[in-house]
Amino acid sequence: MRVLLIEDNPNLVRSLLAGMGKAGMLLDAVSDGLQADQLLKTEDYDAVVLDLALPGLDGMEVLRRARARGNDVPVLILTASGELTEKVRGLNAGADDYLPKPFELDELVARLHAIARRRAGRAHAVLRVGRLSYDTTGQLFTVDAQVLSLPPREHGVLEALVSQAGRPVSKVKLSDQLCRLDDALSPQALEIYVHRLRRKLEGSGIRIRTLRGLGYLLEQGPDAPA
């Protein structure tokens, strides 16, 4: 999951980068509302964590502008104000959820997964392709109930593919899912991650097909049981 964190407290940013990174999320972090507004015009995110008290442009205006452009990215407002009126203002402006500070990291991660699932129109937390299952809440892959342990970038590739199972996912989209703004991912590196996943999925009846010019497709292979 690729998340934009819009927060001007450097200590909180460092804490969230570490904690959410361990939870398998890829974060871009900005501390200025104008920067955030520009990123939301040009980048594609699975969710946004938005503080309201920001320099340059306040969080509420960042949200209003995004929604006015038709950007439906899930937004969770994270702020020190727990007042009901502030919560209502945020939700009426187009936010999907609201979490007052202080908060627990596990709750923030769970709420982000929940609003991302709602955007994708998925009512259930578990995605299945043949014998492969993905628990989107716990971020856990299993094959026949056996845990499939994956490093973060292989996990990110498979998450993107299983979320679009049966449909091709472009290499550009996969690279965006795996990279933060200060990272670079070469086509060769992406191919290595896909190759490693193919080896780990051998015998599962699941395959990752390369579609020339389109990207990769996750599907049940010809060896899948009927």
Per-residue pLDDT of 61-120, as tens digits, reads 999 999 988 888 999 998 776 566 777 777 878 888 888 888 899 999 989 988 887 766
Which residue from 3, 30, 27 is spatially nearest to 116, judged by alpha carbons?
Answer: 3
As a whole number, mean pLDDT of residues 204-211 equals 92
Q: What is the pLDDT of residue 225?
A: 43
Instruction: Sketch the domain layout of the chain as residue ranges.
Output: 2-120, 126-220
Distance (Å, whole) CA 50 – CA 36: 9
Q: CATH: 3.30.530.20, 3.10.20.600, 3.40.710.10, 3.40.50.2300. Which one for 2-120?
A: 3.40.50.2300
Which amino acid appears at position 176 of this protein? D
C-alpha span between 54 and 191 (Å, rounded): 39
pLDDT given for residue 123 in this prediction: 47
Percent of the chain with pLDDT over 90: 37
Predicted pLDDT at 224:
44
Does 3.40.50.1100 match the CATH number of domain 126-220?
A: no
Residues 6+ apart with CB under 8 A from 53: 8, 59, 79, 80
The model carries a pTM of 0.61
Residue 124: other Cβ atoms inside 10 A: 8
